[in-house]
Amino acid sequence: MSVLLLIVLFVGEIRYVRGDATSPQAKGVKVIAHVCNDLGGWGKGFVLAVSRRWDAPERAYREWHRKRATNDFGLGAVQFVQVEPYVHIANMVAQRGIKRGSKGVPIRYDALGECLQRVGRRALELDASVHMPRIGCGLAGGRWSEVEPLVERHLVGPGVPVTVYDVG
């Protein structure tokens, strides 16, 4: 008689809370992730909450876009901006343009996957947790049913604690 030993590794799951993603509810280093467009526009949606709290992420994003001919700015790229000793903002370029049209919604799931993979690597380097609203599901027009598996694959799977904030 043979014995089959099954080992299950529980990596974690996304924690959902009501609250403000710009005030992450966790100890230690935190990365706040959000979606930006590829036009250099910053003025609607979650970025307004970020700018009310810190001015550096908007300044850095606009500069990154302005100098895009000489840097990595574009779909799938991520810019990390440290705003407090234990808080970093991840400006993730995963939105093509700003309007819905004949080419569908602005979110680009493939670019979002690339961004989340980069955020996951940085979070592991920093031993950080990741905090976010339901990224890509507001002005970018995405569906959480498409975004959640990307978060699970690129963040939760590798062992990054994730908290998603719903406005309460």
Under 8 Å between Cβ of 78 and 31: no
Span 66-76, average pLDDT: 97
- 149 vs 5 pLDDT, higher one: 149
pTM reported for the whole predicted model: 0.91
Per DSSP, what are the bridge partners of residue 84? 87
The H-or-E segment that residue 84 falls in is strand 78-84
Q: What is the mean pLDDT of the chain?
A: 91
Q: Which residue has the higher pLDDT, 83 or 7?
A: 83
Domain ranges for the chain: 14-166
Q: List the CATH code of the domain at 14-166.
A: 3.40.220.10
Query: What whole-number distance in Å separates Cα of residue 160 and Cα of residue 142?
Result: 23
pLDDT band at 105 (very low <50, low <70, confident <90, very high): confident
Residue 102 has a pLDDT of 59
Q: How far is CA 56 from CA 24, 33, 70, 118, 127, in A?
A: 18, 15, 21, 20, 22
